[in-house]
Amino acid sequence: MSVLTLPVPPEAAGQRVDAWLSSQREELTRSAAARLLAEGRVTSEGKPLPKNYRLRGGETLDVTLPEAEETALIAQDIPLDVIYEDGDVIVLNKPKGLVVHPAPGHANGTLVNALLHHCGDSLSGIGGEKRPGIVHRIDRDTSGLLIAAKNDFAHQRLSAQLSDHSLARTYECLVVGNLREDSGTVDAPIGRDKRDRKKMAVVPDGRRAVTHWEVLARYPGFTHVRCRLETGRTHQIRVHMAYLGHPILGDTVYGAKKPVPGLQGQCLHAVGLRFIHPRTGETVELTCPLPEEFRRQLRKLETKP
């Protein structure tokens, strides 16, 4: 068993504990949080909390995570672009088309299968049997930097950084149309689309989602944008850009339905990652270049009359 210690900030006062817990860990859904509460695995000052408990703000929660089940996943020799690796963490440049963890329709051939081959037994078990080592996710057709934990110690500390926003993730994207301002912030809650449960949308009862953006370059009909995530909701940048009226080029879910020739999926790449090393306490800052197909789109726009 491992214990995750989460200090509750004052601004969380009044929130239900299950809802707040699910906002602290990407892999911890509200139903999973409710299950942990029902099993008495969430305590404050040594006392188990009921699932309808309202946070006071300022208290500290201890979440006892169950042991990861023995994984039935197979290790697969899938090439990995390793940007950084030590005994605690591994950072990869994920290519487009690679699913992060097994899901319906993708039982293998995922990043997790590749990590099992590369790392062997050195992966955190906190993500559960289907997501060993996975701290955060990147969409299948988004490329770029992703960090995984090689032990539970690192996983707990990296997850805490996701919660307090000290783990910083930066993306670049090409969006359709021209943004009027040079920079801005989208603070709009994201949840399941009421009309299409396979999609996400800005909805009043969604989880808080904040994206900071700035314009890097302008082209006729398109804008090159850098986005910094303050939160990490599913499809956050894609949803927020579409919410602004500027969907990401190639995003057939939240933008035009017709694919862009020469472009697989959306023109979105995780270019930067900054985190505090879980063991040394030192700041680690990493970058990776734009993929060729992104650069190709930029070249096309730069040479347009």
- As given in the structure block, the two tokens for residue 203 are 């909805």
- Do residues 164 and 126 make contact, with C-beta atoms less than 8 angstroms apart? no
The band of 127, judged by pLDDT with boundaries at 50, 70 and 90, is low
Domain residue ranges of the chain, discontinuous segments joined by +: 2-65, 67-162, 168-270+293-302
| pLDDT grade for 177, boundaries at 50, 70 and 90 | very high
Q: What is the pLDDT of residues 291-304, one digit of tens each?
A: 999 999 999 999 87
**In which band, very low, low, confident or very high, does the pLDDT at 165 lie, cut at 50, 70 and 90?**
confident
Predicted TM-score (pTM) of this structure: 0.78
Active-site entry in 18, 77, 86, 139? 139
What is the predicted pLDDT for the residue at 105?
66
Q: Given this model, what pLDDT does residue 148 score? A: 94
**What is the percent of the chain where pLDDT is above 70?**
93
In the predicted model, is pLDDT for residue 121 greater than 80? no
- Over residues 233-248, mean pLDDT: 97
pLDDT the model gives residue 290:
97
Angstrom distance (rounded) from CA 245 to CA 232: 20
The question of whether 141 is a catalytic residue gets the answer no
d(CA 238, CA 11): 27
CA 162 to CA 138: how far, in whole Å?
14
Q: Which fold has domain 2-65?
A: 3.10.290
pLDDT value of position 126: 60
Give the CATH fold of the 67-162 domain.
Answer: Pseudouridine synthase (3.30.2350)
When the pLDDT of each residue in the chain is averaged and rounded to a whole number, the result is 89
pLDDT above 90: percentage of residues in the chain? 60
Q: How confident is the model at residue 178, as a pLDDT?
A: 96
Same fold, 67-162 and 168-270+293-302: yes
Scan for tokens 């862009």, then name that residue: 260
The answer to which of 161-170, 178-187, 192-201, 264-273 has the lowest mean pLDDT is 192-201
Q: Which CATH class is domain 168-270+293-302?
A: alpha beta
- 304, 219 contact by CB (below 8 A): yes
